[in-house]
Amino acid sequence: MRPALLVALAVLACALPWVAGEAVVNWGLLVLLQVVVAQSWNLLAGYGGQVNLGHAAFFGIGALVTRSLWMGGVPVAAALAAGAVAAAVAGLGIGLPSLRLRGPYFAIGTLAMSEILRIVVATTLPEVSALPADLIAGYRLLPRYYLVLALAAVSTGTVWLVARSRFGMGLVAIREDEWVAETVGVDSYRHKLAALLVSAALAGGAGGAFGYYHLSFYPQFAFSPVWTFDAVLMVFLGGIGTVWGPPIGAAFFVLLREALALRLTELHVLVFGAVFVVVVLALPGGLVDLLGVLRRVRGSRPQPA
């Protein structure tokens, strides 16, 4: 991405609360939150080739830990850090056994594990988690917006760094062919585990921000497979294994969802499901690659004789 464009985007994101109304800032927050969710999933799936269908578990743990600590009086920054660490620890617990599984088995294995966690949370914490009156009284959107903005910047920056690092090259080698990667000396298990831990910590941070942002929600909702599915949709839509695809996918996803939800709640799921299938089949590079595809199609058109 061009530096000028990047700077312009950063300035716009920072200035948004000062130039736009509360509703727009809220939309911006939701987009940025999904940027974190998408990037955290993209790191492992886009670069390491590991489709984690249990991503919601990390989001949920981050939300649970951060919210409990914060409501207990811990400063939100410390609570969020603890949430991210807790998610990374869970990543270790889930990753150690499941990363020995290859491809689809990793995908369905992680899905099963996160479902176990969700059901356990739903049973042990069946009550709505609502903020007490004093916290509601002090509730302001602005710090939450900037927190999520910072997380979005950190997660995108992380992916950017990984994409340029030796570590990232190792991940890509594993994605392309795990056996070949092993034979050229990439320790695939460690690479995947490291990527999973970072991915889990970022997702935990997103969950933490979610727990800090919402006035009330059922704890199990933060563990819902919907968070995983959203990540998959946004990343594929925007462009998997790219730095700027997931943010584009997230913006597209949230804004279209908000626009469609005004009419019918289920419509956006239908639209996204269909768009997703089309992207998987016909546009494997995602929206970020759309221009490239158009260029290639034009370029390959046979010249008239």
Q: Do the Cβ atoms of 218 and 128 come closer than 8 Å?
A: yes
Q: Do the Cβ atoms of 196 and 52 come closer than 8 Å?
A: yes
Q: How far is the CB of 34 from another protein (least distance, A)?
A: 16
Q: How far is the CB of 106 from another protein (least distance, A)?
A: 9
153/293 with CB nearer another protein: 293
64/79 with CB nearer another protein: 64
Q: How far is the CB of 72 from another protein (least distance, A)?
A: 27
Q: Residue 251, Cβ neighbours under 10 Å: how many?
A: 20
Cα(18)–Cα(2) distance, integer angstroms: 25
SS (H, E, C) 198-254: HHHHHHHHHHHHHHHHCCEECHHHHHCHHHHHHHHHHHHHHCCCCCCHHHHHHHHHH
- Enumerate binding residues for another protein (CB under 8 A): 51, 97-98, 100-105, 107-109, 111-113, 115-116, 119-120, 122-123, 225, 229, 232, 236, 264, 266-267, 269-270, 272-274, 276-277, 280-281
What's the one-letter identity of residue 270? L
Instruction: Name residue, tokens 């080739």.
Output: 49
Q: How far is the CB of 52 from another protein (least distance, A)?
A: 12
Q: How far is the CB of 217 from another protein (least distance, A)?
A: 19
What's the one-letter identity of residue 160? W
105/139 with CB nearer another protein: 105
75/273 with CB nearer another protein: 273
34/66 with CB nearer another protein: 34
